Chains A and B, each alone.
Chain A
């Protein structure tokens, strides 16, 4: 069964450094998402991406964050200058877009980002 993959599984970085989290969505999917889960807290929506542009974003997704689909398979989340509070598990998800809000979103296993 096709699945969403994410790399790396764990990323450790120093405060102020840039990080890029990578995701390979399911191949025929059209909508892509990033969520994060701070330890002990709920999963929070960051951004959705469709047709090579951001379609929705939350208040968390400020100017430090950016997303890109650099080629036909990867979907990346960049954090320009990491802060301690960016430490979290970051989940990528994708959906086929056939049913809008009723779409099932398929999630990757997550990347645990630790900012020191």
Chain B
């Protein structure tokens, strides 16, 4: 079965600083990878996804993620964060032939002024 690890439960960072949120997964078969963001009192919103092709994926709000097959990682990055990026970020995988997402535990990003 697949699993997803997000090692950092909380990441505080100052405004305009760069940030990296880490995601590692384990699966014996090929998967698709997703990052979702959850703003306070809202549902999950897709940031970006990796299906195939270029390992660097660009998403909304200036976020990008890089798929690294050898390290089974899909870390999320942003070169300069804003206060409005404060939210919970979830990494998720789904089997290439499947449907249901397996989510990581989430990373709470707090952007400080």
Q: Which residues of A contact B (CB under 8 A)?
A: 4, 6, 31, 33, 35, 41-45, 48, 55-56, 58, 91, 93, 99-110
Contacts and interface: CB of A to CB of B under 8 A. Distances in A.
Given A4-B43, A42-B106, A58 B99 contact: no
Interface in B42-76: 42-46, 49, 51
Interface in B69-106: 90, 92, 94-106
A101 B49 CA distance: 11
Which range contains the number of B residues in contact with the other chain? Answer: 20 to 34
B34 to A, nearest CB: 8
A4 B45 CA distance: 11
Contact of B44 (A6, A31, A91): A91
B36 A107 contact: yes
A35 B43 CA distance: 11
B105 A100 contact: no
A91 B32 CA distance: 21
Interface of B: 31-32, 34, 36, 41-46, 49, 51, 90, 92, 94-106
Nearest to B51: A102
A101 B32 contact: yes
Contacts of B105: 41-42
A47 to B, nearest CB: 8
B43 A91 contact: yes
Nearest to A33: B100
B96 A101 contact: yes
Contact of A45 (B51, B102, B104): B102
B76 to A, nearest CB: 16
A107 B88 CA distance: 14
Contacts of B51: 99, 102
B43 A101 contact: no
